[in-house]
Amino acid sequence: MLSACKTYQNSQLLIIKNSFLNSFQTNFFIALDALQENRFRAFMSALGVFLGTASLVAMLAINKGTEQAFINQMELIGTNNILVVPNLVNGNQQNNQQTNQQENSLKNNNTQIRNISNGLSLKDAEIIRKILPNEHHISPEVLLETSVFYHQKQLKTTLIGVEDDFFKISNFNIIKGRKFNVAFSSPIDDVCIIGQHLEAKLFGAENSLGKYIKCGNKLLCVVGVLEQRIIEKNPISELGIRNYNLDIYVPIRSFLLSYQNRGKTTPLSIEATNHNENSSSNQPQNYHQIDRLIVQVNDNQQIVKTAEIIGRILRRSHQKQTDFKVIIPEELIRQQQRTQSLLRVVLGIIAGIALVVGGIGIANIMLASVVERTREIGIRMTCGAKKTDILMQFLIEAICICFIGGFGGVFLGLLSSKLIAYFADILTIITPLAIIFPFMVCLLVGLLAGFYPAKKATQYNPADNLRYE
């Protein structure tokens, strides 16, 4: 008996399922025929959803690409690194204050000038190296824009003085040759390591190892070539991100002895030179011996604490002058991600408004269509169509319009993001979410926009519909 009841229930469910599928199929084709007869109206209805979906896809792709580009640049520095860079603006203000101190001291016949900072230097690196635990790696850097010559070729390049730890901290791989190995040779050896692009431009297919290039007034022997690094078109110059593939690296002490050592000058001498040359006081002068100092922290949980310690050490050695900035890339990444999330929400709201406007347009068109097809609705209901059939027909029409607009909008959004990436030279990333989310939103808009007109179509009296002219 129980088995018979279950069989009966299953058969009833199967009948209901088949009835629904047959009804849906019938109403689907009726809706398609109605859209076919009013192609231009359907196209104009879908246009708003089409543009709204395209803008949403493109905005999400640009936003994701911008966020990823920033993260890629931060990874070049290292998320577990701390950067110390000169604060040239404050340094210039400091120079003015120190000059005033000098003038007051001279007036008082006092030749001792106090509270003068000599800027970032190798001495700072040594002090930090002694105070921080041994597992921390420290890399001072100094830069100089110059030209490099090889035979008849000349290129603009950046000469950088570094230590061997620089390549470990920056995750730079040497694909040819070796590091400086300063510990086993003289720190003033005339050796260099070059970027892969610079090697290709200077030497072509020729092997660069052991060859001499002229940088400034000095000949440097190439002992290594760095692996190519992918660099964004707009690097963050404040953090020292540049096109590493065109750089030349030399031992930092060799750089200071042979090229430029700003540590031999003082803020007072720079200020005196500025007055002699009648230079603008608004232009900050760099009196720092080094241009950047990187401290690598093995434990990410200690980054903020280590940065505070570094700040206190430097303020003490710089005579309480804050002529430097301590930057934590990991915090910059988090801040950028928060900004991008907020921007993503704002862009989503803007694109959502465009979709809502498109949905309102669809609702208006569907309402007009219901009024125009009042007699058709009456005929269908007289022939046995139920209210659910009429409701389903108009809902399907609205959803089909949004489906067409959404599909075309996704395609246009993908194409637009590629064109923007090509012509604007910015990174755009298409994620599955950037495709699925706008498409689902436009289908939801179609469902909501078509529900009221479809509901209104079911409220007419069949007899009144037949008399409608």
| Residue in the block written with tokens 């052991």 | 210
Whether 76 contacts 239, CB under 8 Å: no
Query: Over 80: is that where the pLDDT of 67 sits?
Result: no
Residue 117 and residue 97: Cα distance in Å, rounded? Answer: 11
- Please state whether beta strands 153-162 and 137-150 pair in parallel, antiparallel, or not at all (unpaired): antiparallel
| φ and ψ of 293, to 5 deg | -135, 120
Nearest residue to 143 via CA among 292, 296, 245: 292
Query: Over 50: is that where the pLDDT of 257 sits?
Result: yes
More confident residue, 410 or 362: 410
Mean pLDDT value across residues 124-153:
86
Mean pLDDT value across residues 46-72:
80
* Distance, C-alpha 297 to centroid of its chain: 24
Residue 220 and residue 201: Cα distance in Å, rounded? Answer: 17
| Residue in the block written with tokens 């922290």 | 297
Nearest residue to 22 via CA among 366, 392, 447: 392
What is the per-residue pLDDT for 24?
A: 66
* Confidence band, pLDDT 50/70/90 cuts, at residue 12: low
Query: Over 90: is that where the pLDDT of 438 sits?
Result: no
More confident residue, 401 or 37: 401
Going from N- to C-terminal start, the domains of the chain cover 26-70+335-467, 80-329
Query: Over 50: is that where the pLDDT of 7 sits?
Result: yes
What is the per-residue pLDDT for 261?
A: 83
Of the listed ranges 9-18, 81-90, 358-367, the least confidently predicted one is 9-18
> What separation in angstroms does the CA of 80 have from each of 194, 232, 296, 307, 373?
26, 21, 6, 11, 68
Residue type, position 329, single letter: P
| Residue in the block written with tokens 């040359």 | 277
Whether 146 contacts 152, CB under 8 Å: no
